[in-house]
Structure 1
Amino acid sequence: MSKRYQILIVGGGTAGIMVASSLLRKNPKLQLGIIEPSACHWYQPVWTLVGGGTYSYRKSQRPMKSVIPRLADWIQDSVVSVDAENNRVSTQNGKEYRYEYLVMAPGLKLDPSLIEGLPEVLDKGVVCSNYTDPNHTWDVIKKFNGGTALFVQPPKPYKCGGAPQKIMYLADDYFRRRGIKKKTNVVFASAADAIFAVPEIAKTLWKVVHRKKINVKFGHELKKIDGLNRVAWFKATPNFEEHNPIALDISERDGLVGIKYDMIHVVPINTPPDFVKGTNLVDENGWLDVDPATLQHRRFDNVFGLGDASNVPTSKTGAAIRKQAPVVVENLLGLIKSNTLSTKTYDGYSSCPFITGYGKMVLAEFDYSKKFLPDPKLKRLFIKDSSKEHWRLWVLKKYILPWLYWTKMLKGKEV
């Protein structure tokens, strides 16, 4: 016999826990279940700092039990299918759960297999990724003794648009401190055609790139890695733009451009979870198909989607979820109380804390239109312009934001 919940949440990451905690703070009588298989909850935004050797990986993790709201049922299981037509969710353990309202917050899946040769070398030797093992990234950076340090940015969508750059800037700083910068070529191979979409932030990042003499190659999409010969093969857009050009060991084969590396930081392709792609809740690309303002599903009025698995056209960050969760909460409460949505909407807000070196950071905050939207609260930290590098923004990233996450956001408090 299946169990029925008033609200069922799929996913115990940032989005799922924030929504559950906030709902139960506002209405403790709700019958709410959270389906999440993992025994641990991770604060992934600090993994860049872990990869740069300035934060403990262990401190980014807490037991899942400690963040699940006390009044919620934790279903420690994996979802295998969602039947939105009949309000049912089935799990790996053969259980079935029914719901009145469903919140889809399953996060996304990293799929190294979509890049030929990557599964065999990822997190081994000189191939690293903060997305999968930031401790290994730090090991690679520490052991690097010169040559070509290649940092790759994939096509969107992927988690945290600035992450591939942030670890590069930290690594460059570390190479300089060790005295090996003069015998090092730092290369940024990006599938994009710009350094960043927000003009105010891009202006600062270009200053960083030129100051550090980083070779930037736009229009380069990683397709294959030859781990034996240490060559990364890219599909390169003709007449791609290049900045700070340097002499590199480059070859061409089968329509691909190969760059020889001595270390490489990669981002596995980000996709929706398999069970999500198999539902009728997704768009043509497999992402949860929701209204960008209300986050209500476009076909099923009793379903909401937020976080990394949704198709809202903004960056996939915890900061975006911070603004999405209150919208989902208010709309759910409105439907439960009066069968109408609230007036609260999501404007596409997201932010990217761009670490540009040890003790330096820029804070990109923007909406759907990519308009720069600095938080007025930053003035409390005596920060006049967050589009410029500032040590106080580094303090915000390393100390204040983790504290706010564990003590406020996951407790359902708006910050």
Structure 2
Amino acid sequence: MKRIVCTSISKHRQFATSSINAANKNYKLVIVGSGTGGTATANKFARKLGRGAVAVIEPTDVHYYQPMFTLVGGGIKRFDQTSLNRSELLPNKVDWIKERVSKFDPDNNQVTTESGDTITYEYLITATGLQLNFNQIKGLEEALAEDPAVCSNYSPKTVTKTFPALQAFQEGNVIFTLPATPIKCAGAPQKIMYLADEYLRNAGKRDKANVVFNSSLGGIFGVKKYAEALLPIVKRKNLTCNFRTNLTEVNHKKREATFVNLDTGEESVYEYSFLHAVPPMSAVDAVKNSPLVDETGYVTVDKTTLQHTKYSNVFGIGDNCNLPSSKTAAAAAAQAGILSSNLSSVMNGSKPTAIYDGYTSCPLVTAHNKCVLAEFDFDGEPLETFPFNQAKERYSMFVMKAYMMPTMYWRMLLKGIWNGPKPVRKLLHMGMSR
């Protein structure tokens, strides 16, 4: 009979290990992954279901507030401000199983961990996020390891390289990329470009820099209102944008980056003096190889209820889902409230009725004191919280992004008591907004 070692969290937030008979333990709810969505739902359902009913399967100790990585790369925040131990975030009523899931078996209501242990459930939430596939760009892993001019804000292992690389820049091409896959926060690759441009201007080096944004997308941003606001900023800053252009190889010994035009197949080789590379991303391997996904490799959920389209006792949240919305913490916040309501209904024998409208937000930092706060729905229609034009660069929105949102994230969102700004939006618009 197999047994697992489970890490539980005491009420004093000290680590304690206990042996749990996984073969005979049937959790009411298993949550796989403890990022934004997983942690928020763990806190919600620990309160609903009580001690020992919920298990969180998560192998890592540290939770990162990834939206702050842009500000770390831009020299505005410190890296040590981006993380907390999961023991401070997960509720003491859950069993924290510190392993990685290797197999999903939804037909038998089971998951298997990498150590070979089997855990059964009545209900399952997939919240595994995305994995970073640096290895899919030839030479990129070696370049990140060996070239101080190559960096990426997308990993805690590489984000601390970005600002030193900017400081060391003397002259040449300053290149930023965006890959041809869904990614976390599709606005982040251009945010660091704006901050880099500002830093180089303040350092007296901007006239020696050719700042280039090579993006696989067809435009600067996917929502028309904000794209129209960003293009004049790009022009004002004298930034070169090449769209439908995808990074395929980095040769750090020659300091060359190879790109392919996604429409024509034509290759272009750029010399670089600074390269911020965003890796291709996907659902984690265990999810991609499971019966839970569609042909895209993402968990197949109803986009409005977040319930799996085949397995009614399975729900998904966040980046691992095939939702046609941007993959951001703001989206996960809105989804957490919908998921909680709908899963509770299903547990009570009712149908899910709460509707997710695709709300997400992307605070587009354009300088160390300015931000365009993009908020929109599934259809790319603006869904703004404040009763003013959020497409305009504002200091107030930067303050909210840099100083207010981190506190809300740690103390409210992850604790399961913040489901996005919808109530605030309706109040500020006197009930006239969705």
Please tell me the TM-score bracket, short chain as reference.
over 0.9
Q: Which residue does 1:210 correspond to in 2?
A: 235
Structure 2 residue 150 is the aligned partner of structure 1 residue 127: yes
Distance 1:341 1:264 in 2: 50
Structure 2 residue 70 is the aligned partner of structure 1 residue 66: no
Asked if 2 retains the 8 angstrom alpha-carbon contact of 1:365 and 1:372, the reply is: yes
CA contact (8 A) 2:308 2:316 kept: yes
Distance 2:119 2:345 in 1: 23
Match of 1:242 in 2: none
Q: Give the conservation status (yes or no) of the 8 Å contact 1:25–1:412.
A: no
C-alpha distance in 2, partners of 1:219/1:83? 38
> For 1:8, which of 26, 30, 50 is the aligned residue?
30
Aligned equivalent of 1:152: 177
- Indicate the SS of the match to 1:257: strand
Distance in 1 (CA, whole Å) between partners of 2:125 and 2:352 is 16
SS in 1 for 2:220: coil
In 1, the alpha carbon distance for the partners of 2:286 and 2:405 equals 32
Of the three residues 91, 96, 101, the one matched with 2:118 is 96
1:323 pairs, out of 322, 330, 334, with: 334
- Cα distance in 2, alignment partners of residues 295 and 238 from structure 1: 34
Report the 3-state secondary structure (helix = DSSP H, G, I; strand = E; otherwise coil) of the residue aligned with 2:103.
Answer: strand
Residue 346 of structure 1, aligned match among 350, 356, 370: 356
Of 373, 378, 389 in structure 1, the residue corresponding to residue 393 of structure 2 is 389
Contact 1:42/1:62, CA 8 A, preserved across alignment:
yes
Paired residue for 1:249? none
Aligned to 1:356: 366
> Helix, strand or coil for the counterpart of 1:355?
strand
Q: Is the 1:272–1:287 contact (alpha carbons within 8 Å) kept by the matching residues of 2? A: yes
What SS is found at the alignment partner of 1:411?
A: coil
Quickly say closer, same or farther: Cα 1:188–1:366, change in 2 above 3 A.
Answer: same
Q: Distance in 2 between matches of 1:274 and 1:159?
A: 17
What is the one-letter code of the residue matched to 2:343?
L
Q: Which residue of 2 aligns with 1:18?
A: 40
Report how far residue 286 of structure 1 moved.
1.0
Equivalent of residue 107 in structure 1, options 109, 114, 129: 129
Residue 368 in structure 1 maps to residue 372 in structure 2 = no
Q: Does structure 1 retain, via aligned residues, the 8 Å contact 2:301–2:323?
A: yes
Q: 2:416 aligns with which of 409, 412, 415?
A: 412
Contact 1:7 1:30 in 2 (8 A): no
After TM superposition, the structure 1 stretch with the greater mean CA deviation from structure 2, 92-101 or 357-366, is: 92-101
SS in structure 1 at match of 2:298: coil
Distance 1:225 1:32, change over 3 A: same
Q: Which moved more, 1:19-28 or 1:57-66?
A: 19-28
Does residue 280 of structure 2 align to residue 276 of structure 1? no
Q: Distance in 2 between matches of 1:236 and 1:336?
A: 49
Name the residue aligned to 1:227: 252
Cα contact 1:290–1:296 (8 A) shared by 2: yes
1:257 aligns with 2:268: yes
The answer to whether the 8 Å contact 2:181/2:282 transfers is no
1:245 corresponds to:
none
Deviation at 1:30, TM superposition (A): 7.3
Give 1:180's match in structure 2, choosing from 188, 198, 205.
Answer: 205
- Do the aligned partners of 2:66 and 2:82 also contact (CA within 8 Å) in 1? yes
Where in structure 2 are the equivalents of 1:23-102 lying within 5 Å? 23-28=45-50, 31-102=53-124
Q: Does structure 1 residue 299 correspond to structure 2 residue 310?
A: yes
User: Is the 2:52–2:95 Cα contact (8 Å) retained in structure 1?
Assistant: no
For 1:182, the aligned partner's letter is D
**Who is 1:286 aligned against?**
297
Identify unmatched segments of 5+ residues in structure 1.
240-253
Letter in 2 for 1:177: N
What letter is aligned with 2:150? V
- Structure 2: give runs of 5+ residues left out of the alignment: 2-22, 421-434
Counterpart CA distance in 2 for 1:71 and 1:27 is 9
Normalised by the length of structure 1, the TM-score is 0.92
SS in 1 for 2:112: strand
Cα shift readout 1:88-140 (whole Å, capped 9, x = no counterpart): 11112222110000000011110111111111112532110000221111111
For residue 24 of structure 1, report the CA deviation from its aligned partner: 2.7
Q: Which residue of 2 aligns with 1:137?
A: 162
Please, what TM-score do these two structures have when normalized by structure 2? 0.88
2:319 partner SS: coil
Q: Please name the residue that 2:215 is paired with.
A: 190
Name the counterpart of 1:248. Answer: none
Q: Distance in 2 between matches of 1:41 and 1:320?
A: 18
> Deviating runs (4+, > 6 A) in structure 1?
none
Q: Secondary structure at the match of 1:408?
A: helix
> Residue 190 of structure 2 is aligned with which of 165, 168, 177?
165
Q: Secondary structure at the match of 2:318?
A: coil
